[in-house]
Structure 1
Amino acid sequence: MNPRPHILMLGQYPLETLDSAPKIRTWFLWKALEQIAEVTFVTGTRKSRRAPLIKLIRQGNLKKFDAVYLEAATSTSMEIDLLLLFLLKSAKIPIGIYIRDAYPLFGLSPVTNLKELLLNWAWYISQWFYRQVADILFFPTQSLADCFDFKNKQLLPPASQTNLVKSIYQGPFDTLFFAGNLNQENGWSFLKETMEKIYRVQPSIRLLALTPTQLEDNYPWLEIRRGVLKDILDDLPRIAAALIPRPQTAYNNLAIPVKLMDYFSLGLPVISTPCLETAKIIVDNNLGIVSAPNEFDKASLYLIQDRDKRNEISSNIIQNFLSSNSWDKRASDLLSILLQTQDRFSSKRMD
């Protein structure tokens, strides 16, 4: 029996609390990868991961790893992160790096003071360094990959959990669902307008928002809940659809919000604005409705009232989409790509 491959996985987020999309992604991918490989995993804040990274470097023997995978953060890498990557490259270990986003390329990183300006420059330096040492750059979407000049680019989109729900609920439905911060970036103004329109027609319909946001105003149609996805499982029999009212901007067109896959994990049809990459997933796989913001109320009421259509979509999500877009599937794809790169390295060494 061949030994399981030994993968060095590097993260740049602390995982004590899974309270953000990058942390959730890192944790689930790590756990899925552990099922099929021996994984040495180092992650944490800049301060907490420094010591284990130094220990790795001092121990030497980096050639024991078959491949390396870095889940890079939105921010910059430390000098010790870059040093380890350089040493791994020198040891001819295949390196794959996941590029999460590209805020500076779209003017979305603040540069109002010297510190922010330096961090912005440091992001560009980190990206340049990644391209020097990586054998593969992974991206969540093709549109984001197209923003980077690199010879070997692969897609590694966010994934869904497959164990949260198995049932297709029959209704009746009187609830819509939203997860995330209630702010302009997430389309809070669109969401308010939508719910006000629905409330005037059907005042029994509510919006359940799983959010950390504290609002000053109260709304008769809004119920705020704190927590994680599992905290709304008991509400699922009443939820018709989940909403993604993000404004259609150049950046939102190329990004996939992790909440999209969270919604599918719950078996919920999704109503989204026509941000390109998100819309493509929904339309190509029959997972919901893509709607202009001023039509969100009509799309929402349609899925609330047409239970057959709503449940047709939910059935498709649970029975077809989840299994081919699970974290286990993502980990398997990642390992396969990394080991193919290792095979090419081994062939070159033999030549």
Structure 2
Amino acid sequence: MCLRNLVHNTMESNTNVLYVVPDLKKVSGGPRNRISLLGQVFKHKGDSIIVGEKKLLKAIKSPSVNFTYVESATNRIALIDLLSLSILRLKSKRVFVFIRDVYFDFFPENYRSPKGRLLTLANHITNLFFSWIADCFFFPTNKMGAVFFRRGTYVEKPYYLLPPGVPIGLSRQDMPDFGARPGIVYLGGTGYKNSGFEQFLEFAKLYQKYYDFFVLSGDNSLKEVLSDLPYVVWTQLPLLQIPDFLAQNNIAYAFHSRPRNDYDDLTFPIKVMDFLALGLPFVTEKHLPLVELLGVDYPLFASVADYNNIHQMLSNNYNPERYRLLTNRFLNIANENGYEQRYAYLLSVFLSYNE
């Protein structure tokens, strides 16, 4: 059977497809959570999800669909994905592609070695393919989209903002005990460049008299790193167990220590969506995506190396009235930025093509 007959002999359908390029076994942290949580919404809506094994077979068997949404989340595409997505391009009224980062475009000087040049070529071919199949692109920030197209390397397509969503089911039930010593938590990986973890440790060293400090991270190297720091408690927990852990340890704040630089203002710090879901106020630099999300008047914006200022801000907001203002702000933001809303936005973009 020729490819044209294969495509046109399929039944018409009103469903959509979530196509996941990377192997989720090799994806961790925020990107994995985003794909999984968005996938739950697609599944709930009765849509198809193509991920893991037998992608080509699933693409061949897929009916015609309204749109295919592609989670690229990788810097190079495999041959099986190229073939599968080419078939889905023929079966889809629209194809949307999500681009997670533009590291190769922003830091070309890091890829001057022979291996680096090969990786850059693979990334370039991947993006050329995406620009061929896509009706439009989605990026976590609009600035990233502008960088992606600024050199004129790829055929420019419309692009839209699609930041990560707020997970559900993580909300704390109780406020902290304001008569007791507050806890501060660092959540997530520590070993990657620009994690800012050393600023968290320095703050803990300076203010251990005032706070209890906790690290929730899957980094096993922390057992050795923190062995000489008895005032910092490290453990690993599934995400759904974190609310109880916060309550048991009177944790009132999170410390988002990622520093600001030009590239980080292009990306979206996904772990803050967990803080929003938990209703957990957090200290953070004024990352541009967070200013847009939280508002310019968010009271815990600070330089993560300005330790005295951070201490004063945390102290000033550690009372029922001010703390409740923060948690109410988070609740309102979370209600407007769940994965149901992200799915609804994808659908609205599809419908806009038919107006």
**Fold equivalence (TM over 0.5):** yes
CA distance in 2, matches of 1:165, 1:329: 18
The question of 1:34 aligning with 2:43 is answered: yes
- SS of aligned partner of 1:157: coil
For 1:212, give the aligned amino acid.
G
Q: Is the 8 A contact 1:174 1:304 kept in 2?
A: no
For 2:245, give the aligned amino acid.
D
The alpha carbon displacement at 1:326 in A equals: 0.8
CA distance in 1, matches of 2:114, 2:244: 49
Aligned with residue 303 of structure 1, among 314, 317, 331? 314
Aligned position for 1:64: 64
CA distance in 2, matches of 1:92, 1:321: 33
Aligned position for 1:348: none
Aligned with residue 55 of structure 2, among 42, 53, 56? 53
The alpha carbon displacement at 1:141 in A equals: 1.0
- SS of aligned partner of 2:147: coil
CA distance in 2, matches of 1:240, 1:298: 17
Identity %: 23
For 1:54, give the aligned amino acid.
L
Instruction: Choose between structure 1 and 2: higher helix proportion.
Output: 1
Aligned position for 1:164: 170
For 1:198, give the aligned amino acid.
Y
CA distance in 1, matches of 2:64, 2:96: 16
Name the count of aligned residue pairs. 327
For 2:240, give the aligned amino acid.
K
CA distance in 2, matches of 1:96, 1:299: 41
Structure 1 unaligned residues grouped into runs of 5+: 345-351
For 1:70, give the aligned amino acid.
V
The question of 1:194 aligning with 2:203 is answered: yes
The alpha carbon displacement at 1:108 in A equals: 7.5
Aligned position for 2:127: 127
Aligned position for 2:242: 232
The question of 1:86 aligning with 2:124 is answered: no
Aligned position for 2:7: none
Q: Is the 8 A contact 2:17 2:47 kept in 1?
A: yes
The alpha carbon displacement at 1:204 in A equals: 4.7
Q: Is the 8 A contact 1:176 1:207 kept in 2?
A: yes
Structure 1 ranges of 4+ moved more than 6 A: none
Point out the more displaced range, 164-173 or 266-275: 164-173
Aligned position for 2:182: 174
The alpha carbon displacement at 1:276 in A equals: 2.1
Q: Is the 8 A contact 1:303 1:309 kept in 2?
A: no
For 1:220, give the aligned amino acid.
P
The alpha carbon displacement at 1:134 in A equals: 0.4
CA distance in 1, matches of 2:189, 2:269: 12
Structure 2 unaligned residues grouped into runs of 5+: 1-11, 150-155
Q: Which has the higher contact order (CA 8 A, sep 6+)?
A: 1
Q: Is the 8 A contact 1:291 1:299 kept in 2?
A: yes
Aligned position for 1:347: none
Cα distance change of structure 1 residues 75 and 331 upon mapping to structure 2, 3 Å threshold: same
Cα distance change of structure 1 residues 266 and 109 upon mapping to structure 2, 3 Å threshold: farther
- SS of aligned partner of 1:138: strand
Cα distance change of structure 1 residues 109 and 79 upon mapping to structure 2, 3 Å threshold: farther
Q: Is the 8 A contact 1:159 1:261 kept in 2?
A: yes
The alpha carbon displacement at 1:78 in A equals: 1.3
Cα distance change of structure 1 residues 182 and 88 upon mapping to structure 2, 3 Å threshold: closer
The alpha carbon displacement at 1:31 in A equals: 0.6
Q: Is the 8 A contact 1:282 1:290 kept in 2?
A: no
Q: Is the 8 A contact 1:205 1:221 kept in 2?
A: no
